[in-house]
Amino acid sequence: MNKKLLITILISSTILLSGCFGSEEGGGGTIPTPENISNDTKTYTSNELSLQFPASWDLIDPKDFSSAIPPETEVALRNNIKNDTYTANINIVKNPLQTDKTSLDYAKEVLNRQRTGMLDYKETKREIINVIVGGQKHETYYTEFEARLNQTDPVIKFVQTYAVKDKAGFIAMGAYSLQENTVVVEQVNSSVKTLNIN
């Protein structure tokens, strides 16, 4: 697995999540699709969630994860066109929560933790969107920010959507180079917004 993808997953699992510390590809469910996402998509579907992603991307199923991948990572998706500095990717993580909370409150907690826990963190966009949880619309944030994975790495662009069902918090997180091609940027940004919790 690409080292940069592994680092992104580890960061999203340890820095971005709250609370304490597991699918198949298919086409189930109705997923809200932003107008600007390409029609050339696949849908990742598990018993708990679904997300649309570019059809040409590689799906890395949990059964293929190495032991270094945290168990709260549900799925990882990677651009099949590799980049020398950083290959665009999307991952979804699920984390148990200690208390009940709304998707919006969970998003705020995660954002506050990122602000203090990531290097050179700079939020560039935050907007309220609806995510489907159990068939109902729930308000949450879609955010974009820049940060470094460590002192020697370049600044990376991250995009996220958050959702809570019962006492589980979900984050769909995309990451790409600041020099990434605009088509890939739009694919990542749009895909992250299609998170749907069953």
**Which residue has tokens 């309220």?**
128
The first and second tokens of residue 123, run together, are: 């939020």
**What per-residue confidence (pLDDT) applies to 5?**
52
**What per-residue confidence (pLDDT) applies to 166?**
92
Q: What is the pLDDT of residues 114-172, one digit of tens each?
A: 988 899 999 999 999 999 999 999 999 999 999 987 888 889 999 999 999 999 999 99
**What per-residue confidence (pLDDT) applies to 19?**
32
Instruction: Compute how many other C-beta atoms are within 10 angstroms of the C-beta atom of residue 7.
Output: 16
Under a CB-based contact definition with an 8 Å cutoff, are residues 131 and 49 in contact? no
On the 0-12 / 13-18 / 19+ scale of CB atoms within 10 A, 2 is middle
Rounded Cα–Cα distance for residues 146 and 157 (Å): 4
Under a CB-based contact definition with an 8 Å cutoff, are residues 193 and 129 in contact? yes
**What per-residue confidence (pLDDT) applies to 61?**
73
Domains of the chain, with CATH numbers?
Answer: 3-197 (3.40.1000.10)
Under a CB-based contact definition with an 8 Å cutoff, are residues 128 and 139 in contact? yes
Per-residue pLDDT of the chain (198 residues; tens, 9 = 90+): 544 554 455 445 444 433 332 233 333 333 344 444 445 899 999 999 999 999 999 998 777 888 877 788 899 999 988 877 789 999 999 999 999 999 999 999 999 999 888 999 999 999 999 999 999 999 999 999 999 878 888 899 999 999 999 999 999 999 999 999 999 999 999 999 999 999
Pairing type for strands 73-78 and 41-45 reads unpaired
